[in-house]
Amino acid sequence: MNRLDRQSFLGAQSDQILAGATIGFVGLGGGGSHAAQQGAHIGIGSHVLVDHDRIDLTNTNRLVGGTLLDVLLRRHKTAIAARTIRTLNPSAHIVEVRKSWHDAIEELKRCDIIVGAVDSFREREQLERFARRHLIPYIDMGMDVHETSAGHLVSGQVILSSPGRPCLRCCGLITDERLKEEAGKYGSAGGRPQVVWPNGALASTAVGLMVQTLTPWHRKPAGFAYLVYDGNKGTITPSPRAAMMQELTCPHHPADDQ
């Protein structure tokens, strides 16, 4: 019995395709830890884990696989993700980069897809630009918390950005105004508020797009997707802007810049 028998609907040779894939996971403190874990579950063979940080007590509300002992020992987030992956796939090929992704250029160049779960808009734009330059699909995910008159609104998005297709700027996620105003925190609910369930929902959506891109199960895999999450309603739906952008050629990343 093959442990992946129940996902055979993904298509002929899907097990081999996933085992032969190399996925970069950049940012492992929240949604990235979910995505890396799910990558192991579905049979991804090679993982590039990038995060410069160590776990602390405030990470334990959302970092999948993290324990209080890890906090005590100040383990690197990449080490926790690697341990989680190996419990499912002892033969997985794992590269840990315990530095900024800017120091992981050579490792990320070899990835088939990069999944980003970074806090900064500037880092997201730079990571997407790097991926486009090397013709690598980039899946960005992020959540936000806003304070409104009716209480706190939990929201988020997952964007699949492929060379030649709409980018994060096309979607309006990255703007010059946001880059100028960026203060390294989410919304107005305090210092970078995050909770586990939006991270899990967004990561699952990102992994679905990753599998759709890699395997033959989907007859019309998307080269571009812009999905929005409403944590208060519990929904993930295509952005109203997505349909209008399907045929858009990205003006922000010219072909000669990729």
Distance of CA 149 to the CA centre of its chain: 31
3-state secondary structure at position 93:
strand
Q: Which two tokens mark 188? A: 């107005």
Distance of CA 206 to the CA centre of its chain: 6
Q: Classify residue 48 as left (phi > 0), alpha (psi -120 to 50) or beta.
A: beta
d(CA 71, CA 215): 37
Q: Which amino acid is at 53?
A: D
Q: Which pLDDT tens digit goes with each residue over 190-216?
A: 456 788 999 999 999 999 999 999 999
Q: Which pLDDT tens digit goes with each residue over 230-252?
A: 988 999 999 998 888 877 788 88
Q: Which pLDDT tens digit goes with each residue over 66-120?
A: 999 999 999 999 999 999 999 999 999 999 999 999 999 999 999 999 999 998 8
Backbone φ and ψ for 146, nearest 5 degrees, come out as -120, 140
Listed in order, strand segments (DSSP E) in 203-242 are 225-230, 235-238
230 beta partners? 155, 235
Q: Which pLDDT tens digit goes with each residue over 28-80?
A: 999 999 999 999 999 999 999 999 999 999 999 999 999 999 999 999 999 99
Distance of CA 6 to the CA centre of its chain: 24
